[in-house]
Amino acid sequence: MEKKIRVGIWGLGRAGMGMHCPELDMFADKFEIVAGCDIDRARFDGFKKRYPKAKVYTDGDAFLKDKNVELAAVAVPSLYHVDCDIRALKAGKYVFAEKPVALELPALRKLENACRKYPGKLFCRQNRRFEPCFNHVREIMDSGILGDIFEIKLCRHSYQFRDDWQTLKEFGGGQLNNWGPHLIDHALRLMDAPIADLWSDLKRIAARGDAEDHLKLVFRGKNGRIIDVEISGGIILRSPFYAVYGTRGTLISEDEQDIKLQYLRPEFKWPTSKPSRNWAPIENPWGSKNAPVWIRKTIMVEPANGRHLNMIYAAVFDTIRKGKPFPVKPEEAFEVVRWADRIKKQNPQFRSAPDLF
């Protein structure tokens, strides 16, 4: 049996305590939380109650000097991601980097340099890559039953008068830095070709801060495929999470629990008839002799690869202890930041504060 990975959580707030800790607890046979670090001592009580054997630190340097910490899970606010990631890499730790891995390109370049200097040490938490629905949709696309995919829509809608730090530009807030890294990553993975061009529009609808809470992104691939991404805190009647349009059928997932499909039967032959130049007949004026023959079904979201959202930590373990390739390459997470930067340049009024490093 492989030795447990000893984890230190850097940042004991919403991400550290609310996301990383529960995910690690799911794999207690693989990980042990041995330390926590936060500048706010008030957060130590809950952490120590949950992990009584773990050490606590208010100073990042002291935390990084703890030789018992093998993997540093960096869950500090977005402004400090790059600084803490690089410091942890320099200290010889494996690093689990929260998204966005960087807010601006200068900081991203520093992280890329550190990644090259310490190969195999940086893991990027693009955990939505493990979503069951994303994986099942990908599998259905690859099966070919929908034909050639020409358009995909990815939506995450809500309506919130949100007023926390993630609504403020000075802290790197806004939906582009919050949900954006996830759905931009999905778009890049589903495009199956390099991006030819991008149109974007950012707005603030309901959030109380000055950062955007509604964004629309339209990517066009060199293969002609369009991927329409919409993330909003200002839409209450939400659109489907996924819509995939192919030449032989359509896929819709309203809620990520079920997938609705309608597609041409595999044996159905594509029509070879030519269009008529005659005036339309009185009977069936809009008709065709080539009536499609459909298969309609609704299925539960159950990807064949068995992935679920919390599996990213299991993948980290398999890479560190078993040498298996990690499904998210650092270069892929870096690419997400580059596209986010292009979006910010198209919408300069919502440009966030630079990373602190």
pLDDT digits (tens, 9 = 90+) for 129-166: 999 999 999 999 999 999 999 999 999 999 999 999 99
Closest CA to 167 of 212, 121, 108, 226: 212
> Does position 236 have pLDDT exceeding 80, yes or no?
yes
Pairing mode, if any, of strands 226-232 and 249-253? unpaired
Token pair in block for residue 50:
């949950």
Return the residue matching tokens 């070919």.
Answer: 144
Domains annotated on the chain, with CATH: 5-128+309-329 (3.40.50.720), 132-300 (3.30.360.10)
> Does position 45 have pLDDT exceeding 90, yes or no?
yes
C-alpha dist (Å) from residue 107 to 33, 114, 315, 349: 29, 11, 27, 20
Q: What is the pLDDT of residue 1?
A: 72
- The pLDDT confidence band at residue 285, using thresholds 50, 70 and 90, is low
What's phi and psi for 210, nearest 5 deg?
Answer: -105, 5
> Does position 320 have pLDDT exceeding 70, yes or no?
yes
Mean predicted confidence (pLDDT) in 248-260: 98
Exposure of 266 by Cβ count < 10 A (0-12 exposed, 13-18 middle, 19+ buried)? exposed
Contact between residue 24 and residue 31 where contact means Cβ atoms under 8 Å apart: yes
Contact between residue 131 and residue 160 where contact means Cβ atoms under 8 Å apart: no
- The pLDDT confidence band at residue 272, using thresholds 50, 70 and 90, is confident
- The pLDDT confidence band at residue 278, using thresholds 50, 70 and 90, is confident
Mean predicted confidence (pLDDT) in 187-200: 98
User: What distance in Å separates the CA atoms of residue 27 and residue 338, rounded to the nearest whole number?
Assistant: 33
Closest CA to 129 of 189, 191, 218, 179: 189
Q: What is the pLDDT of residue 274?
A: 81
User: What distance in Å separates the CA atoms of residue 85 and residue 78, rounded to the nearest whole number?
Assistant: 11
Contact between residue 165 and residue 173 where contact means Cβ atoms under 8 Å apart: yes
CB within 8 Å of 148: residues ≥ 6 apart: 246, 247, 248
Q: What is the total residue count of the chain?
A: 357
Q: What is the pLDDT of residue 271?
A: 85
pLDDT digits (tens, 9 = 90+) for 203-230: 999 999 999 999 999 999 999 999 999 9
Q: What is the pLDDT of residue 288?
A: 67
Return the residue matching tokens 């926390």.
Answer: 164
Q: In what order do the strands lie in the sheet with 242-246?
A: 195-203, 214-221, 226-232, 149-157, 242-246, 249-253, 258-264, 294-300
Mean predicted confidence (pLDDT) in 333-354: 93
Q: What is the pLDDT of residue 64?
A: 98
